Structure 1
Amino acid sequence: MTRHLWALAAVLLTAGLTAVGLGLRGPGGPPQPPAWAATARPVDHGGPVLPRSLPVRVAIPSIGVSAPLIRLGLDADGSVQVPAADRPGEAGWYDRGPTPGERGAAVLLGHVDSPKGAAVFYDLGRLRPGHRVEVTRADGRVAVFTVESVERVAKDRFPTGRVYGPLDHAGLRLVTCGGSFDRAARSYRDNIIVYAAETSVR
């Protein structure tokens, strides 16, 4: 694994997507995926591979998400940027990786909650294999992805290679926080990760 990927792993385990929510939707916290959703459902990886074009919006019809996408890079200390906590309706695209529709794993990051309540990816744990994720690009094309699996993993076991590693097709990963909330650390203990593959373009 490259030094760059290990740096990303360290960031996600410490600063990335920790969220500052206080369980405003009740003691149960945000929705969590069932264990069976982590078993990949076969999806045709033969969708068209597109040239690079910046993503501008993400839509997830099954959970009512329609949100603008901002660019996320690295901060001066080498940590990955995250969307601003005071703008919980935004998600971000990690701009050191492929754009959605290009060959490789495009990564979108979003908070699960904020001091204002539920954030853009609060319901990510409700996604199931077969659900659709649509990303509108600056070139006017919409890359349509089909969810293959949804998993909840402890932050100290974040699967960096699976999330950021190379692919032979156009893939998408959605990442947010999940699991129980550690009030002392003001952070969720786990991550929810959605794996998807592009299946069409319109």
Structure 2
Amino acid sequence: MLKPVLLALAACLPLSAVAGDTTLARGSDYDFLTRMPTGLGPGISLDHIVARKATPQGDKPQASAVGVLFGLPVPALLRLDLGGKLAYLESDGYASAAMVGGRLTIDLPASTELFAQGFYAPSSAASGSVKSVSDSMVGLRWSPLKLVGVEAGYRVFEVKRNDSQRDRSITDGAYAGVSVAF
């Protein structure tokens, strides 16, 4: 699994010069590392999510994704990023999905920002017996220092299969973490 992610990172290396926020967080039953671009134009998006609870079959569901988001010009105090990402899934079997979506960020007073993001892949954009993949997150970040912040929110990452007994939520709950902007 690490090899495809590293190859995708190398292919997107020129895009990584765009500013971004990297968040390391822990939820009640999951951990994740996410990088989202923050500037105008194209930027690289990275995601790795691991559930801490094992399934009845003994494996721990996880997902890794790499993508490109485009920052669009919007009125002051707002940021809108739209794009897509390719996800590799380990959730009661292996699969991949091409997800599309975006992120809306609203700058608030006192170095605080509110954000919401969502990505989705229907069965036509996923492999194997995957019926749909969705990733939704809403959160609040406070940055007491210009490049460092603390973040709290709620994240749901679901993999639905043709056999509903194999449906899994890799994440579904509140989280807290730290973020670094660079």
Q: Which has the higher strand share?
A: 2
Q: Could you tell me the TM-score, scaled by structure 1's length? A: 0.30
| Larger relative contact order (CA 8 Å, sep ≥ 6) | 1
